[in-house]
Structure 1
Amino acid sequence: MGNPKAFLTINRKEAGYRPVHDRINDFGEVEQTLNTSDRMKQASRCMDCGVPFCHWACPLGNKQPEWQHLIYTGKWKEAYQVLESTCDFPEFTGRICPAPCEKSCVLKLSANEPVTIRENEVSIAERAFQEGYIKVHTPVRNGKKVAVIGSGPAGLTAANRLNRKGYTVTVFEKNEMVGGLLRYGIPNFKLAKNIVERRIDLMKEEGVIFKTGVQVDTLPEGFDAYCIAIGAEVPRDLPIEGRKLKGIHFAMEYLAQQNRLLESIPVAPETLINAKGKKVLVIGGGDTGSDCVGTANRQKAVKITQIEILDKPPVGYNPTTPWPSMYPQVLKTSSSHEEGCERRWNLTSCRFIGEKGVLKEVEVEEVIWTKGEDGRVQMQPTGKKEIIEADLVFLAMGFVHPVQEGLIKSSNLSTDNRKNIIVDKSFKSSASNVFACGDATTGASLVVKAMAAGRDTAKAIDSYLSSII
């Protein structure tokens, strides 16, 4: 630890966001960066704790204290080498990870001023690209081939790891471009797509083969192993009265379309979703809903309301979700919320109301949550109903679990000699050479967890193929 007293003398300093009046006029990244001097000072705040909870809380097991010290001492190349050893794509996680490491930082627990771990991470990655620390690896091929189905964070991580071990890796992607959730599900104002493209180009130079526009219904022949990384893409629906009215869309349909438009990918005029001049209601209080808010703001919606069925969480600390046994459920105000949005809690949707097949209003009802004698929390309707005007509704209520809903099984992923491929919640399957990872097995989760699963699955595939003569 270079400065053992920095955490006492230097306060947490975040880079912050671009001004609202500026950023809502484009889809450029909203987050700013600190200068090198300030970034090194922020890194010096890391105490190199005897028991680094940040390392424990990170799904990837990142060695934060090590690379924080290296940043502080100006050893940026060494910092990247340490970071890259655990995280394949720090330029992604440094932008979009909710930073469970910071929630467990000793300075968070003791003074509510955690080290700026996530921002420091992305600064290392960008410095590495700018200074040329990132070199093209040219692995010696071992003669074995692996197919990766899906090019989201889990699939890309598995492909990257396997490629560098010498396997010839082919990634199959059903969409027009590579990236999965990173490309289509996350708005550009949070993750610019040139950042994704930069990494894809590097992987191509290193020998990874990408095949886009390929819907895999049967596992392709000619591969020694398969990695299923198809994500969790089936959104949870809201089958109430009026669901088929025009103007009701799944959140991901909206977000993916906007990302396609920004990539100049043609969108049929009759399917175009635009919030300009409209009253928007987002149903669901999570990050996907927040992304809809930010997108609608940029499309110049006249009013945006976001509703959540659960209680409004407290600010700062929630005694009902104590660390470390639970992830802290506290009020999160995103950059999108700051741009303009009315947020409401304890509301359930009753019915959609329209005229001549077009959405006009949504009836909602206030609910309360009570704990029964068995200790379970139950929702109780209050009978207090109201009408919210809405021209557009975006359903952002999460996704169904691919395994639990039986979406990954032999009917849609099989080979002629393996009719009963069934993937469980880990990366194992009933076929010895078929593995799975990421949201396809866990249900929708964090990008950083998907990357960790991709890394672990690549290790399992390597172990399996190494045992075959």
Structure 2
Amino acid sequence: MGKPTGFLEYERKDGPVTAPKKRIENFKEFHGQLPEEEQRLQGARCMECGVPFCQAGTMIAGMASGCPLHNLVPEVNDLVWHGNWEQAYVRLSKTHCFPEFTSRVCPALCEAACTCGLHAKPVSTKENERAVIEYAYANGLVKGEEPKVRTGKKVAVIGSGPAGLSAAWNLNKRGHSVTVYERHDRVGGLLRYGIPNMKLDKSIIDRRIEVMKAAGIKFICNADVGKDISGKELEKEYDRVILCGGASHPRDIHVPGRDAKGIWFAVDFLGTVTKQLLDTNFEKMPYELAKGKNVLVIGGGDTGNDCVGTSIRLGAASVTQLEMMPKAPECRAASNPWPEWPKVLKTDYGQEEAIDVFGHDPRVYQTTVTEFKKKKDGTVCSAVLVSLEPKKDEKTGRLSMVPIEGTQKEIPVDLVLIAAGFLGSEGYVAESFGVKLNARTNVETVNGSYRTGKEKIFTAGDMHRGQSLVVWAIAEGREAAKEVDKSLMGYTYE
């Protein structure tokens, strides 16, 4: 696919990116697109390899290699190279319902598994995907058309994050009447309130929701199922229910002083910032949350990075980001060969901005908090940190990070953001429907299925598999929709 010699003739070129000191002035997206002709050349780099791992979406050494949606990446890249944008959109749409989301927030599993990336830079599949979907919207190709025939079956989807939206879209296409329940004031779930606007502009979500509404999907916001509405009520009203409430139970830090004021869970902080921006139509930046404060971010993942970038935009005096694990190598280790996911050092946009603003990387590796100290009014004022070292348990053989005696140090802190991941779903939703949670507090399902122990209740996304990526949530929503469709109709279109 692509031009047979394209990977030899053309270097990888990414779209323009606004400089850090300029982009931190606002919460606007800062990744631009290449001109059409230049983007086509990026499609030409797809090298017609014998085994396209980019679309495999298989597990290798416990990590995903390639796209979980199984997008036919070489075919789309070939169509981009030939400038056949409409057919590229048609091809992409056969496997992917929301390319506008993943082309902004996905870590590009496809590119990590690209054969071209073995000896050179991988094909820019993520930006090619974005170019395709943006062309489709600009040219009226993304249409919200109601199914010509309705089945008479009603399905409720609980949660409007990527899994819920995916399930709703696919079930609606099959002719079922779908209603999505969202506990927040706006549709989008994690996409809306868990990902900052500069990473995913919320107008992108609104644009897709309008398409879904035009296709006949109903959305009910401010409806907290399990509290405002009982599971029993929905079971009576609908033929099937899909639980897509996400893994929204955050992991806490249990140390002395945790009750101090000024300590937030990361997603609560990010959601508060986004809500204030949306409520004021981006006219008021909520500087009061971080301006002039020494910010401590606990957690080195994507959410931690989002906290770094958000704090800088809100005028933080300093930002420190703690990472328990050792610093990753800059290049692949021999024990981490292609096409495994590359376990290498990644400096994301937030860290880039911190380096530009403060003159150094905000990350401190192999370090954690042992205590928070507070002022007389109960507000956090400092944190006691300790260095860690890896040690193997003699009995189990498991490696764990343990404190190093005598390495404690205290740093001034005015705002703490805990981005230590999630422990699973919140139990009240499952309890309301009378379904069980497993040991990881995910909704328990029949092996290899999205069906719970109750015939009418299904689940998908993070609520089913635990904390994961947007692309996995979309894939789960699609597969759960197939299973629900088959349970209702006796068959489904694969």
TM-score range, shorter chain: over 0.9
- Of 362, 383, 398, the residue aligned with 2:383 is 362
Distance 2:487 2:158 in 1: 18
Distance 2:478 2:263 in 1: 38
Distance 1:2 1:261 in 2: 45
Distance 1:204 1:122 in 2: 23
Distance 1:203 1:130 in 2: 17
- Of 285, 297, 304, the residue aligned with 2:300 is 285
Structure 1: any 5+ residue segments left out of the alignment?
A: 416-420
Distance 1:65 1:151 in 2: 31
- Of 74, 86, 97, the residue aligned with 2:83 is 74
- Secondary structure of the structure 2 residue equivalent to 1:333: coil
Q: Map Cα deviations across residues 84-122 of structure 1 (whole Å, 9 max, x no partner).
A: 1101000001110001111110011232x0000111111
Further displaced range: 374-383 or 441-450: 374-383
CA 1:58–1:380: 2 relative to 1, 3 Å:
same
Deviation at 1:211, TM superposition (A): 0.5
Q: Map Cα deviations across residues 23-47 of structure 1 (whole Å, 9 max, x no partner).
A: 1011000211111111001110001
**TM superposition score normalised by structure 2:** 0.88
Distance 2:333 2:134 in 1: 35
What amino acid maps onto 2:391 in structure 1? T
Q: How does 1:33-182 map to 2 (within 5 A)?
A: 33-56=33-56, 57-111=66-120, 113-139=121-147, 140-182=149-191
Distance 1:401 1:165 in 2: 31
Q: How does 1:173-192 map to 2 (within 5 A)?
A: 173-192=182-201
Deviation at 1:372, TM superposition (A): 4.5
**What does residue 447 of structure 1 align with?**
470
Q: Map Cα deviations across residues 358-408 of structure 1 (whole Å, 9 max, x no partner).
A: 111110111111334554212232121111211000000000023xx8666
Indicate if the aligned counterparts of 2:225 and 2:429 stay in contact, CA closer than 8 A: no
Distance 2:47 2:116 in 1: 9
Q: What's the C-alpha RMSD, in Å, of the aligned pairs?
A: 2.0
- Of 309, 330, 334, the residue aligned with 2:324 is 309
Matched, 1:19 2:27: no
- Secondary structure of the structure 2 residue equivalent to 1:60: coil
Indicate if the aligned counterparts of 2:142 and 2:211 stay in contact, CA closer than 8 A: no
**TM superposition score normalised by structure 1:** 0.93
- Secondary structure of the structure 1 residue equivalent to 2:37: helix
4+ residue runs over 4 A deviation: 405-408
- Secondary structure of the structure 2 residue equivalent to 1:388: strand
What amino acid maps onto 2:350 in structure 1? S
What amino acid maps onto 1:93 in structure 2? T
Indicate if the aligned counterparts of 1:428 and 1:434 stay in contact, CA closer than 8 A: yes
- Secondary structure of the structure 2 residue equivalent to 1:412: helix
What amino acid maps onto 1:361 in structure 2? S
Q: Map Cα deviations across residues 220-246 of structure 1 (whole Å, 9 max, x no partner).
A: 131111111000111000010000111
Indicate if the aligned counterparts of 2:14 and 2:124 stay in contact, CA closer than 8 A: yes
Indicate if the aligned counterparts of 2:287 and 2:315 stay in contact, CA closer than 8 A: no
**What does residue 262 of structure 1 align with?**
277
Matched, 1:330 2:344: yes
CA 1:408–1:211: 2 relative to 1, 3 Å:
closer
- Secondary structure of the structure 2 residue equivalent to 1:154: helix
Indicate if the aligned counterparts of 1:408 and 1:423 stay in contact, CA closer than 8 A: no
**What does residue 438 of structure 2 align with?**
none
Indicate if the aligned counterparts of 2:2 and 2:74 stay in contact, CA closer than 8 A: no
Structure 2: any 5+ residue segments left out of the alignment?
A: 57-65, 355-360, 436-441
Indicate if the aligned counterparts of 2:2 and 2:46 stay in contact, CA closer than 8 A: no
Q: Map Cα deviations across residues 143-194 of structure 1 (whole Å, 9 max, x no partner).
A: 1100000000000000000001100000000100000000110000000000
- Secondary structure of the structure 2 residue equivalent to 1:429: coil
- Of 379, 394, 403, the residue aligned with 1:381 is 403
**What does residue 245 of structure 1 align with?**
260
Deviation at 1:413, TM superposition (A): 2.1
What amino acid maps onto 1:106 in structure 2? T
Deviation at 1:301, TM superposition (A): 0.5
Task: State, as a whole percentage, how many aligned pairs show the same letter.
Answer: 43
Q: How does 1:373-412 map to 2 (within 5 A)?
A: 373=394, 374-383=396-405, 384-402=407-425, 409=430, 411-412=431-432
Q: Map Cα deviations across residues 229-286 of structure 1 (whole Å, 9 max, x no partner).
A: 00011100001000011111100110000110111179xxxx9961101110100000
What amino acid maps onto 1:15 in structure 2? G
Q: Map Cα deviations across residues 413-438 of structure 1 (whole Å, 9 max, x no partner).
A: 249xxxxx963385121111110000
Q: How does 1:178-217 map to 2 (within 5 A)?
A: 178-217=187-226
Indicate if the aligned counterparts of 1:152 and 1:231 stay in contact, CA closer than 8 A: yes
